[in-house]
Structure 1
Amino acid sequence: MSKDLVVVLTALNLEYEAVRRNLAGPRLHRHRRGTRFEVGTVPGTSCRVALALTNKGNHPAAVLAERAIQEFSPVAVLFVGVAGALWESTGLGDVVMATHVYAYHGGTSEDDGLKARPRAWEAPHGISQLGAHLARAGDWAGGPPGDKSATRVHFGAIAAGEVVQNSRISAEAEWIRQHYNDALAIEMEAAGVAQAGHLNGAPVAVIRGISDRADGTKSSAEDRNWQPRAAANAAAFAVRLAAELIGEQEQIAMNEYYRTGRTDKLREQVSNTARSSQVGIMARTVTGSNVHFNGRPQASGPTDLAAELDGFREHLDRAGAVGALDEDTCQAARAELDIAGRAARKKASGSRKEATMALKRLRGLVADHDELAAMLEPLITAAGGLS
């Protein structure tokens, strides 16, 4: 699993751009079958997002979701975009996070009518709990200019089918409201993504901004006004959710690290790195966020860390030169290394967090290169001890 990456999928370019505006430094990642992803970072965090466009419909959404899961092994898959509301209680511009997803086109046609045979997928408990917490906190940022405080987040079922619903009085509209009367919103991709996640063991969350009421007003002036606003609201909530998911993963890993007493393993790793290379921090012990040099406890100062970062750059450049890392990754890694280096030389109060976050993002970029990733662990620990 990529412990710092979340996949975000959208069906429309409008939705794609809404998510992309919330990311820093997106760079192209080509799948061998031609699918294009952009991988960017949520500003101020170590969370990476792999963003892709599926186009409309459950079938293409399922295929692209499975492809993304196989390519990135993400912490979670989020499907983000707009939807139609089925009930007046859900306002235009509001966000709906699915507690479960219905594939409502399952059924059997009998003499006395069409009988529903739905399939349903329930949202993972942990993601649902985190989404509810963010909604209560109300501090998720982003979206279009205007009164953000009026945007509400709803939790409930989402119905996903294969046709655009744009009527309140058609036979199908009445059938949906009769058989799926707890669904808050209706759209065309969630069932495919939920199925792909289920088959591949990947958590899936569906987040939709309400752009219309599925009542005949699609393509109207009102719909054209609400679509970008709804997409922006859904994107802002989803990106914040992605960042919180990665933050939780880091906290879980840290708790496990200290619970199992793996500090001794870190000491051994740092000591081995120091013996085999002039680049690693020449540390004897690590206690909390302090690095002790030459057996004498002392905090790693700005000059020490900055020098170690300069040494790490040589190894990074060497990995790029021999083709162990592609050029796009090397450029992104050097940019994060520059940020960490500048922060390490500062004495400002926020330098510790700035350096640590940059190095965590750097670790995500070189995660597939075991040697570089191992070298970064003591550097991240040292950055946390900056005063």
Structure 2
Amino acid sequence: MFVILTALGVEQDAVLEHLVDIRLHEHDKGTLFDVGTIAGHPGHRVAVGVTGAGTTTAATLTERARAEFSPEVMMFVGVAGGRRDSLAIGDVVVATKIHSYQGGRSEDEEFLVRPRSWEISHRLDQLARRQCRENRWARFLTDGTSVPAVHFDPIAVGDVVLNSTRSELARRIHTSYNDAVAVEMEGSGFAHAAALGDQMPAVVIRGISDHADGMKARADRAGGQAIAARNAAAFAIALAVSLEPGSDRSPAKPVPPTPALPPINNKVVARDHAKVDRQIGMQFNWGQA
């Protein structure tokens, strides 16, 4: 069993395009997951959930999904804003490191960054890189367009929609997290929850939907989100297929235990004072006529 989480409906739809035999799975707290099988790969079952935007809900639902399904691997898949001219709309970024950029100490004259970061597991990194050989992952692209580039680089994450290259936040990310090639809003919560869950193997895969440069709305209207979500989902599915499916450990509904009847060990005196040593079963007290 694998778990793929997304933040937006367009991202969820892109993942579900690759699944068959989809059924609804409802968590007892109300969270809904779509559980299906990767088309053509019946051993690879995937639970797909939507967290909404932000690190807090991403962390909460990551832990909820981990506890509910006990997956072999978890993925967060969706779109991101690019911070390099070399990134084209639709390119895929596999996050080798996830920076949480909002932590720090605010002084009178400066903001002192207190970084926190999580790295991709070595095994997932190696398997993901193999998908780029001869563009193996491209067979999961659904519309037959040219194969986008795949980048293995750090990303920066915080609860802010960054749509500027000149804002104070943009400058801070450039100064303190200069290796980050993209920005998004859920990856650090996801990575933190996965790390706290016994170092659950986890990976964040993002498609570039805009360039975080003040033109996000125009890029979205041009279909950037749909293209980026489609490409990220294709790469995630290719990575899932490259992994051993393992066992389906999704929980069964608990069966309440059957209460055991206590043994009856009593002595009674039968008619004519004949002694009965032990009675097994049930004893009925009949009224006298």
TM-score, normalised via structure 2 length: 0.82
Corresponding residue for residue 193 of structure 1: 190
Corresponding residue for residue 344 of structure 1: none
Corresponding residue for residue 204 of structure 1: 202
Q: Residue type of the partner of 1:12? A: L
Residue 22 (structure 1) shift = 0.7
Structure 1 residue 22 corresponds to structure 2 residue 18 = yes
Please list, as runs of the form range in 1=range in 2, the aligned pairs for 1:24-43 lying within 5 A after superposition.
24-43=20-39
- Name the CA distance, whole Å, in 1 between partners of 2:109 and 2:144: 50
Equivalent in 129, 133, 136 of residue 132 of structure 1:
129
- Name the CA distance, whole Å, in 1 between partners of 2:113 and 2:84: 20
Q: Residue type of the partner of 1:89? A: S
- Name the CA distance, whole Å, in 2 between partners of 1:65 and 1:177: 29
The DSSP-based 3-state class of the residue aligned with 1:238 is helix
The DSSP-based 3-state class of the residue aligned with 1:173 is helix
Please list, as runs of the form range in 1=range in 2, the aligned pairs for 1:262-281 lying within 5 A after superposition.
none
- Name the CA distance, whole Å, in 1 between partners of 2:95 and 2:57: 20
Please list, as runs of the form range in 1=range in 2, the aligned pairs for 1:42-53 lying within 5 A after superposition.
42-45=38-41, 46-53=43-50
Contact residue 98 and residue 117 of structure 2 kept, 8 A: yes
Corresponding residue for residue 172 of structure 2: 175
Corresponding residue for residue 84 of structure 1: 81
- Name the CA distance, whole Å, in 1 between partners of 2:121 and 2:223: 33
Which whole-Å deviations, capped at 9, do the CAs of 1:62-115 have from their partners, x for residues lacking one?
000000000000001100000000111121100000111000001111233112
Q: Residue type of the partner of 2:156? A: A
- Name the CA distance, whole Å, in 1 between partners of 2:51 and 2:210: 21
Please list, as runs of the form range in 1=range in 2, the aligned pairs for 1:221-232 lying within 5 A after superposition.
223-232=221-230
Corresponding residue for residue 260 of structure 1: none
Structure 1 residue 104 corresponds to structure 2 residue 108 = no
Runs of 5+ unmatched residues, structure 1: 250-362, 370-387
Which whole-Å deviations, capped at 9, do the CAs of 1:220-279 have from their partners, x for residues lacking one?
1565421101100000000111111125x5xxxxxxxxxxxxxxxxxxxxxxxxxxxxxx
Q: Residue type of the partner of 1:121? A: W
Q: Residue type of the partner of 1:160? A: V
Q: Residue type of the partner of 1:184? A: V
Runs of 5+ unmatched residues, structure 2: 254-289
- Name the CA distance, whole Å, in 1 between partners of 2:100 and 2:189: 8
Q: Residue type of the partner of 1:31? A: H
Higher RCO (CA 8 Å, separation ≥ 6 residues): 2
Cα RMSD of the aligned pairs, angstroms, is: 1.9
Which whole-Å deviations, capped at 9, do the CAs of 1:103-153 have from their partners, x for residues lacking one?
00011112331121111011111001000111224121233535333x011
Contact residue 142 and residue 232 of structure 1 kept, 8 A: no
Equivalent in 61, 64, 76 of residue 64 of structure 1:
61
Overall identity of the aligned pairs, in %: 46
Aligned residues: 250
- Name the CA distance, whole Å, in 2 between partners of 1:222 and 1:144: 20
Distance 1:366 1:52, change over 3 A: closer
- Name the CA distance, whole Å, in 1 between partners of 2:170 and 2:48: 32
TM-score, normalised via structure 1 length: 0.62
Distance 1:111 1:232, change over 3 A: same
- Name the CA distance, whole Å, in 1 between partners of 2:231 and 2:186: 18
Corresponding residue for residue 277 of structure 2: none
Distance 1:152 1:219, change over 3 A: same
The DSSP-based 3-state class of the residue aligned with 2:206 is strand
Distance 1:29 1:244, change over 3 A: same
- Name the CA distance, whole Å, in 2 between partners of 1:367 and 1:62: 21
- Name the CA distance, whole Å, in 2 between partners of 1:28 and 1:51: 10
Corresponding residue for residue 241 of structure 1: 239
Please list, as runs of the form range in 1=range in 2, the aligned pairs for 1:325-364 lying within 5 A after superposition.
364=248
Which whole-Å deviations, capped at 9, do the CAs of 1:142-180 have from their partners, x for residues lacking one?
33535333x011001011101100011111111111111
- Name the CA distance, whole Å, in 1 between partners of 2:197 and 2:172: 32
Task: Looking at secondary structure, tell me which structure has more helix per residue.
Answer: 1
Structure 1 residue 216 corresponds to structure 2 residue 214 = yes
Q: Residue type of the partner of 1:100? A: K
Q: Residue type of the partner of 1:148? A: S
Contact residue 143 and residue 229 of structure 1 kept, 8 A: no
